[in-house]
Amino acid sequence: MTNIVTRFAPSPTGLLHGGNYRTAVFSYLFARKQGGKFIVRIEDTDRERSKKEYEENILESLAWLGLEYDEFHRQSELVANHTKALEYLIAEGNAYISKEEAKDGSGVIREIVRFKNPNKRVMFNDIIRGPIEIDTTDLGDFVIAKNIHEPLFHLAVVVDDATMGVTHIVRGEDHIANTPRQILLHEALGYPIPNYAHLPLVVDEKRAKLSKRRGAQPLTYYRDRGYLPEAILNFLALVGWNPGTEQEIFTKEELVQAFTLERVQKSPGFFNLEKLDWVNKEHIKRLSVEEQCAHIERALPASITTLPGYSHEKLLRITPLLVEHITHFGQITEMAEAGEIAYFFEDPTFPVEQLLWKDERDPVVASEKLQKILTLIGGIDDALFTPETIKASVWDYATEVGRGSVLWPMRYALSGREKSPDPFQLAGILGREATMRRIENAQQRLLS
């Protein structure tokens, strides 16, 4: 088999969204599955709109996804090849210089280069869509360069693909209309015709084409929100492709082994944010507790990590509890800002009336219940102070007098929050000393 070469050729004229990078993922997986080469080519010949910061964002995003490339090129550095191709086409009578008035109404006459269309039917076998045949007559003699030194898209792409030995062009279906022009140029230049695979569109939750103008986010948005790169890669691979099995969670290596272009669907792929969150959650579960803790620690604001009672060891103990409540690590920052984490590291402050359960408004009664809890758990050794032993000590009493009236003040004394983990989990994480101190403080406040 011929050595497989694919390419990802974005224009650095804006921030790319997930639909754009899905193309890179498919091109990469196909090349790696075949033991081939994956090329990144920045198509920056639009001098006015191309920006260095967009190029840097593209490369940063590819690196974050783990899509390493074998070659890197900038189209603006390849213009000499384009000029040679233009000169050859003109010399062979397949292109000509046309003097035309500029369309901006200035009246300026410019020399542009047009391809001499042979006006024939072009057929190619799309790997995803099957045979496609198009009559090129309606295309006319189309423009391929602003002048001999400024090639336009069709000419530059054809020359670059041929020069780099690209065998398979994987791109969006919106490029199908470009393919006949490019095949004509391949033939006129004597280049081999590459294989084409036109991917279905990627649509949003409203079934509209994914677009930055309609709120599609750049890939670095998800990185900064605390999504895992392996989860984003996994998710993008499933947008418009399936492995033919029930498996949905993949490592990069597993995706490489499973991927085939033949299993790419023809209908639009759905960029489903709920599915993304589920995939990311599954990848979070695959991390070790230490790895989860490291991600959480990076997401915590300084208002938490600078608390006197903060420590990595304590964070490690609460990591499984925090992981239960998130789908991406950006939610850790949100939880911290909402006051849902600080109480693990410092004694909470709250209005004393919050300790009272529903219609039971007598602070003396509530104080007596907290005192009973202190008596029940006070005899548990530090080494045995676990959620299980704490629950075993308190449960029968709570059941006897009313679980809400016992467990509500206990939990509020420990967290100072209406919503928090159950009091047994909290006490086990806080430890015997902090648990006893917080309940004692709450009990005394009820009597003051």
Tokens matching residue 447: 């009597």
Q: What is the pTM of this model?
A: 0.92
Buried (b) or exposed (e) across 126-162, using 16+ Cβ within 10 A? bbbbeeeebebeebeebbbbeeeebbbbbbbbbbbbb
User: Could you tell me which of 254, 247, 257, 253 has the C-alpha nearest to residue 279?
Assistant: 247
Taking residues 358-368, report their average pLDDT: 93
* Separation of alpha carbons 40 and 59, rounded Å: 9
Give the tens place of pLDDT for each residue, 48-79.
888 999 999 999 999 999 999 999 999 999 99
Distance CA 305, CA 433 (A): 21
Residue 396: strand, helix, or coil = helix
Which domains, and CATH codes, for the chain? 1-69+200-286 (3.40.50.620), 287-344 (no CATH), 352-447 (1.10.10.350)
Of 30, 19, 28, 33, the closest CA to residue 239 belongs to 19
Output the pLDDT for position 1. Answer: 47
**Sole residue written with tokens 């088999």:** 1
pLDDT digits (tens, 9 = 90+) for 130-162: 999 999 999 999 999 999 999 999 999 999 999
Report whether 307 contacts 345 (CB < 8 A). yes
Per-residue pLDDT tens over the stretch 307-322 = 999 999 999 999 999 9
**Whole-angstrom Cα distance, residue 191 to residue 162?**
6
For the stretch 394-431, pLDDT in tens is 999 999 999 999 999 999 999 999 989 999 999 999 99
Sign of the dihedral defined by the CA atoms of residues 204, 207, 212, 215, in that order: negative
222-243 in b/e form (b: 16+ CB < 10 A) is bbebbbbbbbbbbbbbbbbbeb
Tokens standing for 315? 């964070």
